[in-house]
Amino acid sequence: MNTDRHPDSGRHEDTAATAIIGQKVLPGLEREYETWQEDVNAAAAGYAGFLSAEISPPTPRQPDWVVVYRFDSIAHMQVWINSATRQRFLDAGSKYFDGPATQQVVTGGTRKADPLVTVVVTHRVHPRRVGDFLAWQDRMGQAESAFEGFRGTELFRPVEGLQDEWTTLYRFDTAEHLDAWLTSARRRELLAEGEEFSSFELRTIDNSFGSWFAFEGDRRQAPPPSETKTAVAVWVGLYPTVVLLTLVLSPLRMPLWLGLLVGNLLSSFIMSFFTMPYYVNPLLRRWLRPSPDEPSARTNLVGLGIVAAVIAFWAVVFYLVTTRFWSLP
């Protein structure tokens, strides 16, 4: 757990920069926007220092589409954010937007191994009130840490040339534990104490299937892949799991409603405890969590090639099993 709230101490080993951009999208244009955003991310991948980009659709707690860019330095991030290429994309994509975007940039700090629910809060602070703001943030952090599920908090100073706001990141292990803090009487008290800093923007970022993707040797959850990669990876594991379960359960001749009930239960356990950690994660590791040194285009090409080959293999196997060697009852 990292509870360092003063990242200007100069002790951070990670100098990468992360931009978190929120955008409301006009109803009915979500698919077009997502396609456009994927093109923007592909353009960002061609810039020096690019590490990754992820798109997260709206959730019940987060009404905006959220894009997270990560570059190896604030200088490289700044080149991309202020580039003419990105501005051309923004001009072309403005027809999808429902209002202006929000943007937070943080640099340094640690990259958490298990960011299940991350809250991003930005404050605009008068230079003469920085000391009071930091003291208030310390009290806020101490109160947060007493709540169940708290995983850590980090405070980032304004980034010259990109944003004037202070940005706070704090993390909880579940949405329920986060909501307990957000709706607590203690938080209301602290917000009242810091009334002069009460003008802020807050957004949450969570990740589906987070616990299915674990790559660290100590079994800690690693930063999850994008939603698109997640869906494809789940498909790679789900197809053989479901077909094999169907073949195993077919001799029992259960009625459809009961067979699906039992099969879905078993497939959930098998996917969580065997298929994902011992089959899909090792197989697609370099695609789901690529090295920052590897070109994004090459990583995606190799990863999708592996996906296509594996799915084709299972399709041929199950075709032969169910049509040549065994007919389902």
* Backbone phi, psi, residue 95, to 5°: -70, -15
> Is the pLDDT score of 308 beyond 90?
yes
* Backbone phi, psi, residue 13, to 5°: -85, -25
pLDDT tens for each residue of 16-73: 788 888 888 999 999 999 999 999 999 998 888 888 888 888 877 677 888 888 888 8
Residues 166 and 234 placed together within one structural domain of the fold: no
Question: H/E element holding 246?
Answer: helix 227-249
Query: Do 61 and 206 contact (CB within 8 A), yes or no?
Result: yes
Question: H/E element holding 123?
Answer: strand 117-123
> Is the pLDDT score of 91 beyond 80?
yes
One DSSP character per residue, 169-207 reads EEEESSHHHHHHHHT-HHHHHHHHHTGGG--EEEEEEE-
**Residue 188 exposed, middle or buried by CB count within 10 Å (0-12, 13-18, 19+):** exposed
Does any domain span residue 71? yes
> What average pLDDT does the chain have?
80
Residues 191 and 232 placed together within one structural domain of the fold: no
- CATH no. for residue 59? 3.30.70.100
Does any domain span residue 194? yes
> Is the pLDDT score of 112 beyond 50?
no
Does any domain span residue 174? yes
pLDDT of residue 130: 87
pLDDT of residue 70: 85
Domain stops at, among 212, 244, 268 = 212
Q: Name the pTM for this structure.
A: 0.46
pLDDT of residue 155: 80
Domain stops at, among 212, 247, 270 = 212
Give the residue numbers spanning the domain of 149: 7-212
Domain stops at, among 169, 187, 212 = 212
Number of domains, the chain: 2
Query: Do 20 and 205 contact (CB within 8 A), yes or no?
Result: yes
Taking residues 156-178, report their average pLDDT: 78
